Structure 1
Amino acid sequence: MLSFLCRVFIDSWVGRIIAGLFFLAFIGWGVGDVLMGIGTERADVAARVGGRPILVQAYQNALQSEMPQVAQSMHLSDPSQIPPGTREEIARQVLQRLVLQAEIAEAADRHDLIVPDSVVRDEIFSIPAFKGRDGHFDRALLNARLRSTGMSEGRLVDLVRQEQASRVLLQPIRDGVGVPDVMVRRLFDFEAQTRTIDLVRVPFASQQVTAIPTDAQLARYHANHPWEFHAPEYRHARIVILSADTIGHQIDISDADLHKAYEAQAQTFNAPERRNVQIVTVPTQERAAALRAQWADAGSWALVQKNAGKDAAAVELPGVRQSDVPSTDLAKQIFSAPADATQGPVKSEGGWVVFRVTGVTPAHVTPFDEVKQALHDQIAHGRAQALLGDRVQKVQDAIAGGGLDAIPADLGAAAVSGELDQNGMTHEGAPAPIPGGDAARQAIVARIFSQAKGASPELMQGPDGVWYAVSVDSVTPGHDLSLTEAGPRVAAAWQAEARRHMADQQATTFYTQAAGQGGLAHVSPVIAGVEHSQPISPMQPSPEIPREVAALIFRLDHPGQSVMTQAGDSYVIATLTAINHPDPATQKPLYDRVRAGLAQSMGDDIEMTYGTALEGIVKPKPNNSAIRAVMTEVTGSQNTGTGQ
């Protein structure tokens, strides 16, 4: 429930991110979600819960998997842009989630919960990462995924069995959740109510600044806003990166091997025809014939469903293959029927059938040439993974013997060099061309800015199976720009501030008039450019209305009240014009969704409370030095506590 209330009532979008992490339902993070982030396990242990270790690699991979999702939720293009404090909080919550998972698994063992092999098998078959394009379990894909992550099949089975046992333990707790009607109604009233507003925008850019700043004014502005005129620290570094990807670029794969891989994954590249079907099954031929006539005349699927009768089955089957239809004869008729024409009656094992094909997706065969490069990369990556350990040792030996320049070219390491700032940006404002994913890039940049100039390079293991070494050649310290260095930037900033101030004055005048005269629509003389909104609600905000305005509008008590706020490069004045309170009887689907959301959130909170209580039975034992190392590597923070 706390997570649901936080989603509803916390206004700050950063607050929503932190609250969502803090109250996260840990059991929802199953094997299928994190499988792609699992790498080769190290002996290091971040924490231990009873006999269960939380490996450093598992913690690091979970954290690396979390960062891009949080960045996306915060509308950031790169995880490195997440504020350091937020990154540290994410790291703490990810570790706590892993501890809670281990606590629950320990509890399941203490209760002697046994998960049958058939359940484990079915769960593995249902994991999306192991399904081909046809939606079915693909053994070759499973093997490829396990190879790429360095996980054995036995380890996967153990993880799935552990997760299933945890679910069995927690499900009765969740099933006992009941949501009070008064709580559902209160939240429904908030979520479903709609409001309309009048608003007017005063863009900064619309203000005409004719004054030319004097030298004294520019000097004063420069002195009062030093943070606007600062050159960041730049470091020139040489970087060597070794990974399965960099090694794979040097591996040649024969056409015979590529064709063999193409044939092994035939189900992935050869998609059968699929059809969207509306189908009704009734007990008698006479009723089926009547339904077909009605369907052909009216053409309304909703009417056919309504008139089919309680003993009928009327369903839609989107994207079915011929092999998905249980009846062989019916499958042939469905896949030979024309689209958008009612067919039947057809006798089937379940009764008499009338159907209509509403859409056809033709069979598609992906030619070998289209996937040749992808197959090459896939095979090369697998072979490179097997070579990585030996290559790591050779690169380490080469660096120890002669530095980065001593690394042989045939080991598959990639080298880049250049200047960058602490955000990984070049002087031109573009991301430095560092190979690898966002997490690896973030770790490498953090290493560059924590390593002393001239220090001997050291090969280190980073995120996503990437190994790297850096050498810092030079450091250009960050410094405040003098008035002369800042030059035209100061004049441009003075002009922008003057426009903002003029817009503030004009907007304040509009707001004062609206507040005193009962709203923007009543101001005399009439304010030009007033917009009249469509109804908005907390669940359906309008993209045309700034979120800063919407947040304030839902705090107002009655129509006629006005607010003023800054939204982007404008000031906005808005007047609440109407409030429409919802009726649960007319919006039952929404009412049911609110109830389901509350039930889900309350179940999550009860599970979280139960998991926390388990820590009193088996107390986790953190390895603080290992935890700090992971958090430093991933977040770039040097003085992070564990919170354990």
Structure 2
Amino acid sequence: MLSFLYRVFVDSWVGRIVAGLFFLAFIGFGMGDVLLNIGTERADVAARVGNRPILVQTYQTALQTEMPQVAQSMHLADPSQIPAATREQVAQQVLGRLMLQAEIAEAADRHGLIVPDSVVRDEIFSIPAFKGRDGQFDRALFNDRLRRSGMTEGRLIELVQQEQASRVLLQPIRDGVAAPDVMVRRVFDFEAQTRTIDLVRVPFAAQDVTATPTAAQLARYQANHPWEFTVPEYRHARIVVLSADTIGQRLDITDADLHQTYEAQAQTFNQPERRSVQIVTVPTEDRARALAAQWTDGGAWASVQKNAGKDAAAVELPGIKVGDVPSADLGKQIFAAPANATQGPVRSEGGWVVFRITGISPAHFSPYDDVKQALHDKLAHDRAQALLADRVQKLQDAIAGGGLDAIPTDLAATAVSGDLDAQGLTHEGTPAPIPGSDAARQAIIARVFSQAKGANPELVQGPDGVWYAVAVDGVTPGHVQTLAEAGPKVASAWQAAARRHMADEQATAYYTQAAGQGGLGHVSPAIAGLEHSQPILPMQPAPEIPREVAALIFRLSQPGQSVMTQADDSYVVATLTAINHPDPATQKNLYDRVRAGLGQSMGDDIEMSYGAALEGIVKPKPNNGAIQAVMAEVTGQQKAGAAQ
């Protein structure tokens, strides 16, 4: 069964959490809660493949498990920093993998793969969770674990049979993939090579423009750049906004209320330490010692999983608390161990354990004074939410009866008025003081510029629970400013353009000299301000090197070549001075990681191609509403149309 979790699931994102749940259940006594919780969600289906459902909980858990690893690979401190587009891409890939796993199981059934009873028996007997202290299968322990999990013996046998049948289809796909040596070497050479450069920066602001533009020059500049001197259309609008926030701002929340809420949510403000751990359980101490000796580097996890053996459990458990580990002794050791160091062997109820801490989130305590304002805002919002529907009705009646001049003050609606452009800016260039979230503000501004002048106001529901009404009573058309109107703005723009042109000329001269003389370092006389970089990597360029330059440098084929580009408010000229090609023998861990990564990627591609072929036979039936809800939560975005 653990082999099934490794072969079919552990190599995929979703499998890490599934295998983790089984692992925690098997080494301790929490198996019942895990499996019962999984079983109670069957009505909540994200997709169906044949007769097999993909549960929303399974999908969401897989995403939440994968995001920290994606953040780590992007060198981000927290998954919340992952761009929304990347999070959505990961969400789509995880769903595809879940569907592929279901399709493979369906294919195994369709091909009529029959697993002998002896194979099923041997597989179940090899599961460490069902072995007694003597290392042999314990029928009483087996019955007890099944009873507490709510799983029948027949269901377990069915799962093992499915695993064995799926393995026949899937294992040759994964095990038969090997990245060619020439490919491994090329990718390794790109990732591990370092380059050094010479560069010179020519800032725009450093250029000294002594000439004074003539009236004719200013007029020509203004005529050639009309978009720089365009006054936008302004509309004078009166706006009324009603939301839980506007109501909450006028509610009286006492200190007693806040203290009571703080005490009720004490667990939220007192976060225990959490750790991410990679952990392997094997039946014997000798095998555990051998794995510990092999596991000398954080990058060796893939080979550790592969070499752990058929009867081992090798899983990653991100962000666990000490109480999440069913074995109290093992939990103490995990939370006492240093990060990035292999620990063990350690004896546990399920066998011998070797583990490695890959991340530590320290315990955090938030005093009452630090969260008082946030508690106040949340409590006021919650209470206001209960009042909102009634007040919306009263506001609608008031607007229908007398417009925006007949709104009772006790409704806690907020009224603002003034001129604004289509970007929501005032004449001074500051945002108009429209209450609400960015989405609500954008909806209100769009309403101001789509509603006819003098039209009767209507109460409209906008994003984030905001209700608003708009009256437009003045429109000032946009126009291109004359030279007299633009005045000093044209002169300032002319000066900025002149400085940029001078910087361009100077940088171009440096580039031409560098191209003709073999690099910036060979230009005579020597260039003032020439910088010599430290070795830089393609995947981790030095922070002092502009990213625009780093991107171009790794496109050059040989030292002595130069590039020129703009970076922020400067032109930069750079010369590639050296390329260092590393020896794989001196960086064996990196070379092995590249080989393993390419093999994994090629296996994924072949597996997905196989899955695409299976889709022609077993058509997945996604539940788009459930999928979009999960994606919206993961990406931090609202579902399309949810705010309408």
Q: Give the alignment's TM-score, normalised by structure 2.
A: 0.58
* 1:113 maps to which of 37, 44, 52: 52
Alignment partner of 1:169 is 2:108: no
2:314 and 2:621 map into 1 onto residues whose CA distance is 52
Please state if 1:551 is matched with 2:566.
no
Residue 407 of structure 2 is aligned to residue 407 of structure 1:
yes
Does the alignment pair 1:250 with 2:189?
A: no
2:179–2:598 Cα contact (<8 Å) kept: no
Residue 573 of structure 1 pairs with residue 503 of structure 2: no
Once the two structures are superposed, residues 326-380 of structure 1 have per-residue CA deviations (whole angstroms, 9 ceiling, x without a partner) of 44467789999999xxx99998757899999999999765455554443343333
- Are 1:443 and 1:634, in contact at CA under 8 Å, matched by a contact in 2? no
CA contact (8 A) 1:203 1:571 kept: yes
Q: Which residue of 2 aligns with 1:393?
A: 393
**Aligned equivalent of 2:531:** 531
The letter of the residue matching 1:418 is G
* Larger displacement relative to structure 2 (438-447 or 578-587): 578-587
Question: Using the alignment, how far apart are the partners of 1:361 and 1:632 within structure 2?
Answer: 37
Question: CA contact under 8 A between 1:456 and 1:471: conserved in structure 2?
Answer: yes
Report what 2:28 is aligned to: none
Bigger drift between 501-510 and 191-200 goes to 191-200
Show the counterpart of 2:292: none
CA gap 1:252/1:562 in 2 versus in 1, 3 angstroms: same
Letter in 2 for 1:456: N
1:98-147 deviation digits (Å, cap 9, x = unpaired): xxxxxx967x27x23246xxx76677789979xxxxxxxxxxxxxxxxxx
Distance 1:172 1:416, change over 3 A: same
Please tell me whether Structure 1 or Structure 2 has the larger radius of gyration of its CA atoms.
Answer: 2
Q: Spell out the pairing of 1:167-316 with structure 2 (5 A cutoff).
A: 168-171=98-101, 181=180, 189-253=189-253, 258-272=258-272
Instruction: Tell me by how many angstroms 1:203 deviates.
Output: 1.8
CA distance in 1 between counterparts of 2:285 and 2:179 reads 48
Question: Which whole-Å CA distance do the structure 1 matches of 2:345 and 2:191 have between them?
Answer: 46
Write the distance in 1 (CA, Å) between the matches of 2:579 and 2:331: 53
Distance of 2:352 and 2:640 partners within structure 1: 63
Q: How far apart, CA to CA, are the structure 1 residues paired with 2:609 and 2:491? A: 54
Q: What whole-Å deviation, never above 9, does each CA across 1:410-445 have from its counterpart, x for those lacking one?
A: 223222222222222222322222222221122222
The answer on 1:498 being equivalent to 2:428 is no
- Tell me, in whole angstroms, the C-alpha distance in 1 between the residues paired with 2:347 and 2:254: 53
1:462–1:633 contact (8 Å) kept in structure 2: no
Shift of residue 556 of structure 1?
A: 2.5
SS of the residue aligned with 1:475? Answer: strand
Q: Is the 8 Å Cα contact of residues 184 and 595 (structure 1) preserved in structure 2?
A: no
Deviation sequence 1:598-628 (CA, Å, 0-9, x none): 777888899899999999999x9xxxxxxxx
Task: Classify 1:502/1:313 alpha carbon distance in 2 versus 1 (closer, same or farther; 3 Å).
Answer: same
CA–CA separation in structure 2 for the residues paired with 1:487 and 1:243: 44
Write the letter of the residue equivalent to 1:171. Q
AA in 1 matched with 2:99: L
1:440 aligns with 2:422: no
> In structure 2, do the counterparts of structure 1 residues 601 and 449 end up closer, same or farther at CA, with 3 Å as the change threshold?
farther
Gaps of 5+ in 1: 1-26, 30-103, 130-162, 289-299, 621-629, 636-644
Structure 2 match to 1:76: none
Q: Distance in 2 between matches of 1:336 and 1:201?
A: 50
User: Partners in 2 of 1:313 and 1:615 — Cα distance?
Assistant: 33
Alignment of 1:31-50 (within 5 A): none
Q: Which moved more, 1:173-182 or 1:583-592?
A: 173-182
Q: Deviations over 1:135-164 (max 9, x none)?
A: xxxxxxxxxxxxxxxxxxxxxxxxxxxx99
Give the whole-Å Cα distance in 1 for the aligned partners of 2:60 and 2:612. 26
Q: 1:406 to 1:357 in 2, by over 3 A?
A: same
**How is 1:75-86 mapped onto 2 (pairs within 5 angstroms)?**
none
Q: CA deviation at 1:555?
A: 3.0
Deviation for aligned residue 1:552: 2.8
8 Å contact kept, 2:275–2:361: yes
Distance 1:126 1:242 in 2: 39
Shift of 1:451: 1.8
Deviations 1:575-601 (A, max 9, x none): 222233455662233554566567778
Q: SS in structure 2 opposite 1:239?
A: strand
Call closer, same or farther: CA 1:490–1:446 in 2, change over 3 Å.
Answer: same
Matched residues in 2 for 1:583 and 1:233: separation? 64
d(CA) in 2 for partners of 1:390, 1:533: 66
Deviations 1:439-492 (A, max 9, x none): 112222222222222222222222222222222232222221211111122222
Aligned to 2:489: 489
Change (3 A) 1:269 1:199: closer
* Matched position secondary structure for 1:524: coil
Identity, % of aligned pairs?
66
Q: Give secondary structure in 2 for the equivalent of 1:206.
A: coil
Residues 283 and 226 (structure 1), Cα distance of their counterparts in 2 relative to 1, 3 Å cut: closer
User: Cα gap change, 1:323/1:231 in structure 2, threshold over 3 Å: closer, same or farther?
Assistant: same
**1:280 shift after superposition:** 12
Cα deviation, residue 391, structure 1: 2.5
Give the CA RMSD over aligned residues. Answer: 5.6
Q: Unmatched 5+ residue regions in structure 2?
A: 1-11, 15-44, 66-92, 105-169, 289-295, 302-307, 625-638
For residue 250 of structure 2, give the secondary structure of its aligned residue in structure 1: coil
For the 8 Å contact 2:199–2:532, the answer to whether it is kept is yes
User: Do structure 1's residue 520 and structure 2's residue 450 form an aligned pair?
Assistant: no
Letter in 2 for 1:534: Q
Q: Name the CA shift for 1:243/1:166 in 2 (closer, same or farther; >3 Å).
A: farther
Q: TM-score, normalised by structure 1?
A: 0.58
> What displacement does 1:250 show?
3.3
Aligned to 1:544, the other structure's residue is in SS state: coil
Please say if residues 199 and 531 of structure 1, whose CA atoms lie closer than 8 Å, have aligned partners that are also in contact.
yes
In 2, Cα distance between equivalents of 1:335 and 1:169: 36
